[in-house]
Every structure is written in C-alpha cells, then in structure tokens.
Chains A and B, each alone.
Chain A
Amino acid sequence: MDFTLTADQETLRKRVRAWLTDNIPTEWKKFGLSEVPRPEAYEFLRKWQKTLYDAGFIGLTWPKEYGGQGLTFVEEMVLHEEMALQKAPPILNILGVGMAGPTIIAYGTEEQKKRYPAKILSCEEIWCQGYSEPNSGSDLASLQTRAVKDGDHWVINGQKVWTSLAHVADWMMLLARTDPEAPRHKGITYFLLDMKSPGVTVKPLKQITGDAEFNEVFFDNVRVHERQVLGGVNNGWAVGLTTLMYERLALGFGLQVRLRITLESLIDMAKRMEKHGRGVTKDPVMRQKLAALWIDTEALKYMGARAVTKLLRGELPGPEASAGKMGWVDTHQRLQELAMEIQGPYAQLARGADIAVDNGVWQYSFLRSRANSIEGGTTEIQKNIIGERVLGLPKG
C-alpha cells in the first residue's frame, strides 16, 4: 500500500497546478461556482474545455492516437485532485468524455475511433445520451424506439426523454430496437446519431430548477447509415452497459472532485453565516454535520483509489465501484440540504433577490441535486445491482 507518486506524476501535479493558477479565467467566478454546467455558462465552458484540451489536460487515459495522452488513472486522479483544489470549472461535454468516448474506444471501428474521440475532448462536438424513454426508465431493456433496416441505412422512429444537453448536442449515443422478435436484451443496437439529421426534433423540458437542461427528443423517419452502428447490430445492450460502467468509473472521479469543491464552498459559506447569534461553524450540531460530510467525501476519494488500484493491477473493479455512485448521491444530497439548513430563513430567497446568499446558487444546486438519485440509474436500481451482482442475491 503506497500513496506516493512517481517523480513523473509529481512533475505532472506541479505542472497542472501552475497551469490552472494561470489559466482559470477570472470570469468563472461570476457564474457562481455551480457544480453543474448551467445554460448561461455553456459558451464559457465550451471554451474552457478547448483550453484544457489544447494544454493536454483532458482525456489523460485515452490512447494518444485518438486524442488522449496514453496515461494511467493515477495521472487522471492527480489532475482531478488539482482541479478540485483550485475550484476549476466543470467539463461541459461530460457525457462525451465520461461515456461516449470510452465506449467508442472500446467498441468502435478504426474509422470511428479516428473520427469521434478527439472532437469529444476538444468540445468541438457535444454528445448526449439517448437511453431513457417515456415508458422505459429504470427498466431500460423495455425501450421501444425502433430502427428498421432500409438498404444500407436504418430508419429510426420513436422518442427519448430526460435527454441532458440534447439541445446543444451534435451527437447522440442512441439505443434503439432493431429486432423486436429477439429476447429484449438481444434486439437492441447502439447507434452514433448525428443530431442534425432530418427528422430529429428536440423540445427542451423545463425542470424543477426552472432551467431547461434536459429535453424530449423525437425521431421521425430519421435515416442513419449502417456504419454508424457501434459494436455490432443487436449488441447494443452490452455496449450500453459498458457505457454505464465507464460512467460509474470515470465520472466517479469527476463527481468526487466536484463534491469536494462544493463542500469547500459550503464550509466557506458556513463561516460567513450566523445562526442564533453565533457563527454557524461554532454551533456543535453544525460542526457535526459538516465533519460528517467531510468524512463521507474523503471516503469516496479512497474508494476511488481502491478501484483505480484494481484497474492498474488488471483486475475488474469490485464492490467499491458500485458503492461509489450511491455514496456520492447520498453525500451530495445531504450536502445540499445542509446548505439550506445553514441559511435558515434566507434559504427561501432565490436568484434575483439581491440579499440571496451567494446570489442564490445554493437554491439552484439544492433543487438540482434531487435528480442525482434518479439520473444515471436510480438509487433503487443501484441497490438492485449491488444486491444482485455484487452480493449475489436472487433476482425478484
């Protein structure tokens, strides 16, 4: 067991640290340090990601020939830690970087691997994820969007929903049913869909926060060339699960880091606020709650380190990977609830009120955090996965 870094990794740390100090735009502060990219910050974040790409500080574990740096998850962790320490802006094309890119690198043809990943990293092309449908959420394998073969094309009809970033996305990871006769997990295909294709309609959905960050997406006879299939026809379930595994793993670091940034902001806020005539951080109950969040956040970091160690040793990540997402959800939602509790009656004031705490950013993130236990697999589904695949309990 050893937490020390090699000389090269230490050099990288110093290089990242110096670079971030010089390159995080001062403009970022005005967006209020939200951990989720908000619509008014999209253009800013697009430029930020391009800056990161040009400096070689994104896609560290991806192969060099596909735009990455060919490094290990340790370097990736170092990068994320430094970004957390300096409260760097989040990655806008997170679904591309966390899910589409690694899945294409794992399953893609050479042509696909040359075509897509680099532009994902540079944020030239933003990706969204076309999985959930109005009648298929947790029970994803029941999805009904159809793809029918017509010559060398597939014709797509159906609807996706809760599609984050679809309104700004250039590409979609699309799951559609290609064989309705096959057992339901075996008739699904994974497509790389150009969002500018004729017949694709995106309707933003206003969500609990008032923002429209996710969408409904309709497909009306959308024609997709067969070379846009990823990982083979009717193999979409396996490919899609790979995506979800990467989501847990790769996004895991990012999430933990964003959590640490948010926690630092929360402590910062708590130190400025008073409750019952004394500083919030002098209140023993508040100290307990803040310390508990600190501990839980650190636990996620070491859980991540255990998963990385397994990867480096060529083993598959075990229970720590599944437990990571659940731990993150619970900790983040409690953090946001504590942010409201600390503010007391001020918790009622939203953006626009000039006396709102931190310009109302906490009200936004508090509301936004309710989605955490739903998006990327509900907490209930995560518990089923842990119960069945990790603990080996029988299916219901």
Chain B
Amino acid sequence: MDFGFNADQEMLRATARKFLENECTSELVRARMADDAGFTAQFWTKLAEQGWLGLVYPEQYGGAGLGFVDLTVLMEEMGRAVMPGPFFSTLLGGLVILEAGSDAQKKEWLTKIAEGEARVTLAWTEPNARWDAAGVTTTAKAGGSGYTLSGTKLFVPDAHVAQALVVVARTREGKNPGEGVSLFLVPAGAKGLSVKLLPTMDQTRKLCEVKLDDVVVPAGALLGAKDGGWTPLARVVERATVALCAEMCGGAQKVLDMTTEYAKIRIAFGKPIGSYQGVKHKAADMLVDVENAKSLTYYAAWAVDENVPEAALAASMAKAYASDAFRKVAGAGIQLHGGIGFTWEHDLHLYFKRAKSSEATFGDATFHRERVAQLINL
C-alpha cells in the first residue's frame, strides 16, 4: 500500500506549477475572463507541447498514456491557477470518444485533441438541469443514411470554441431511460446547429446554449452502439467528476495559502491577525476541509484508475465533500481578508466563483450524498 504520489508525479506537479505561474498569471486569467474565447491559440499550443492535452489517452492515439492519478496532479495545479479555457471541456469530449468511439474515431480525434488541433466538448445537459438519463430529451431520429438531431442543450462548456461536440441524444423511448441514449459526434459548423455564449458568474468558465434544429449527421457520427450511450457516458462523467474534484482541491489549497500568508502580515490592534484565535481557528477549519477533500479525491482517482467496484461510490463521496469544502473555504478566505477580499482587484473572487461553478457541475453535494446513500444501500 502506498497512498502518495510517486517521483514522476511530483515532477509533473513542479513542472505544472512553474509553467502556470508564468503562463497563467492573475493578469492573464483576467484578460481571458474579459474575452469571449477564454483562451489564446498560443496558450493552447503550449498546453499541447507539454503533452497535457493528451495526458490520459493511450500512446497509439497520440496521448501520453498516463492515468487519472497523474491527471489529478495536473488538475490540482490548474485549479490552483484558476486556469481558464477549454481544457476541461476538451477532456470531457475526448474521454467520451476514448470510451465509446471506434478505433478509427479515436485515432482521428484523440490525436487531433492531443496535438492541440481540435477541441471537442460534451453537449449533455438540458434546460431541465437533470443529471440522469431521463433528462436526455434531445432526439435523434434515424432516417436516410444517418440521423436527425433536435433539441436544446444547456450549460455546454466552451461549445463556442469547439471544433466538434459530443451530443447526447435519445434514439429510443422506453421504460428504462438509460436504454435508448446515443452519442453523436457533431461538427461545429453543422447546418441547424446554433451556439449562444451565456454570461456566467464564473467568467473563467464559458458556458453555452446549443440548439439543434434538425441537424443531420451521417451514420458514422454515432459514437459506440446505438441506444447504448448511457453506460459509457456515465463512466466518463464519473471519471471527469474526480478530475473536477482535483481541480477544486487545488483551488481550495490556494485560497488557504493566500489566507495564511495574509494573516501573517496583516496587522490589527498591533498584532498580525493570524495570532488571534478568531482567525487562527477558522484557518485550521479550512485546513481540515482541504485535507479531507484531498484524501477523498486521491482515493477516488486511484479507484477510477484501477476501476475498482467502489469507484462510483468513491467519486460521489469526493464530489459531495469537495463541493461543500471549496465553497466554504473560499468564503472563509474572503471573510478573513476583510474588505480587500471583497474587491474585484483581489483574486479571491475568482476562486469563490470557481467554487460555485464547480459545485453546480455534475451534481452538487446534496445530489452526491443521495447517491452515496443509494450506493451504501440506505
């Protein structure tokens, strides 16, 4: 048993931290918040050069062939830097292709993703804001030599800068909503596809509304088996949830670091505020939240990597905990900074908002606690 990172992973952490300290400064994050794209082509090329865009894909598809524990390290560092841009959305799209796609589809798309030539997002959720199979109401009707897709997808990350979208659609109605969901790879320029960028509270995360108005795709656009898309999708979401938790842990740790440093230098009543127990104890509570979130996330990363039977439970435990922990830690960080923490100028609000958007992604703490309850047979 060894519940820690190995030397290669520690090296990846050091490399990522150094890279992001240079390439993802507060100033650059803010510039990306203000523009629609949320990233620059130059930055994307650098991510590709680092090998991070294909980190978890097998080498035969142009990836680095690493696992989810390695990805955890990278995501923690990206969370620490509140890195904007379509990295996570492209991971989502890529993972679905890896999970469900044919060898030819994987070869084509994963290679392009890893090389930085394509971004693929996941168009799954809808205005009903459900995370279950019954929430998929967008339809795909077979006809001619392909399918016709109709419906509205909401909260689709970075659809406006993606070359293709993995669209989750219903190909069959039935008693069990999970049976009858299919996955389609739809090119961004397809006729009848419209993408609207939505103003978001967390400006580092760009979300879109995607309308499919009789979008016709060929049969070859289908990823995996017709009607059999829910199982691979659920598996991808489970894994991506763990990656998201890692990003949240990195953000929470950064807030704790900023707050601790501030508490050492900010003087009130003649002493550093960190010497007062009202501040010190709150900082200790933050540390407990951060460490617990990490413990659950690291375990979940190992569990999904090894595909152990407990993986689904581990992922839900991590997301339930991290959702509350990041929000609480970011809120406490603002509180302990006082007025300066409430300003636009200070970076704390970036983390506070990221905490909120991450909490709302793939189910919040309440959703995942209920899932835990089911998985432990309550």
Q: Could you tell me which A residues sit within 8 Å of B by CB distance?
A: 1-5, 9, 74, 77, 267, 270, 281, 284, 287-288, 290-292, 294-296, 298-300, 302-303, 305-306, 308-310, 312-313, 319-320, 323, 326-327, 380, 382-384, 386-388, 390-396
Does B217 count as interface, using CB distance less than 8 angstroms?
no
Binary contact track B306-333/A, C-beta < 8 Å → 1, others 0: 1000000000010011000000000000
- Pair A291/B3 contact, Cβ less than 8 Å: no
Chain B 280-308 residues near chain A, CB threshold 8 A:
280-281, 283-285, 287-288, 291-292, 295-296, 298-299, 301-302, 305-306
A326 to B291, CA, bound (A): 12
A3 to B4, CA, bound (A): 10
- Pair B373/A287 contact, Cβ less than 8 Å: yes
> Told that A306-B295, A387-B280, A393-B279 touch, could you supply 12 new A-B pairs with CB distance under 8 A?
A291-B373, A295-B321, A298-B299, A300-B292, A302-B298, A303-B291, A303-B295, A382-B284, A386-B284, A386-B287, A393-B263, A394-B272
**Chain B, interface SS category:** helix
Q: Which range contains the number of B residues in contact with the other chain?
A: 35 or more
A-B contact count (CB 8 A): 156
B257 CB → nearest A CB, Å: 9
Known: A383-B281, A386-B284. Contact between A288 and B369, CB under 8 A?
yes
The interface residues of chain A lying within 8 Å CB-to-CB of B296 are 295, 298-299, 302
The interface residues of chain B lying within 8 Å CB-to-CB of A320 are 291, 295
- Pair B287/A394 contact, Cβ less than 8 Å: no
Does B6 count as interface, using CB distance less than 8 angstroms?
yes
Please give me the 3 A-B residue pairs with the lowest Cβ-Cβ distance, nearest first: A387-B280, A393-B274, A302-B295
Binary contact track B47-77/A, C-beta < 8 Å → 1, others 0: 0000000000000000000000100000000
- Pair B369/A287 contact, Cβ less than 8 Å: yes
- Pair B264/A393 contact, Cβ less than 8 Å: yes
Residue of A nearest to B378 (CB): A281
Chain B 183-223 residues near chain A, CB threshold 8 A:
none
The interface residues of chain A lying within 8 Å CB-to-CB of B5 are 1
- Pair B284/A391 contact, Cβ less than 8 Å: yes
A383 to B288, CA, bound (A): 10
The interface residues of chain B lying within 8 Å CB-to-CB of A281 are 373, 378
**Chain A, interface SS category:** helix
Known: A284-B370, A302-B299. Contact between A1 and B263, CB under 8 A?
no
The interface residues of chain A lying within 8 Å CB-to-CB of B272 are 393-394
Does B45 count as interface, using CB distance less than 8 angstroms?
no
The interface residues of chain B lying within 8 Å CB-to-CB of A298 are 296, 299, 317
The interface residues of chain A lying within 8 Å CB-to-CB of B69 are 1
The interface residues of chain B lying within 8 Å CB-to-CB of A270 are 378
A291 to B302, CA, bound (A): 21
Does B277 count as interface, using CB distance less than 8 angstroms?
yes
Does B372 count as interface, using CB distance less than 8 angstroms?
yes
- Pair B277/A391 contact, Cβ less than 8 Å: no
Binary contact track B355-375/A, C-beta < 8 Å → 1, others 0: 000000000001001101100
A261 CB → nearest B CB, Å: 15
Does B41 count as interface, using CB distance less than 8 angstroms?
no
- Pair A323/B287 contact, Cβ less than 8 Å: yes
- Pair B317/A295 contact, Cβ less than 8 Å: yes
The interface residues of chain A lying within 8 Å CB-to-CB of B277 are 380, 383-384, 396
Does B2 count as interface, using CB distance less than 8 angstroms?
yes
A390 to B260, CA, bound (A): 10
A395 to B274, CA, bound (A): 8
Q: Which of A288, A300, A391 is within 8 Å of B373, CB to CB?
A: A288
A281 to B376, CA, bound (A): 11
Residue of B nearest to A387 (CB): B280
- Pair A1/B264 contact, Cβ less than 8 Å: no
Chain B 260-278 residues near chain A, CB threshold 8 A:
260, 263-264, 271-272, 274-277
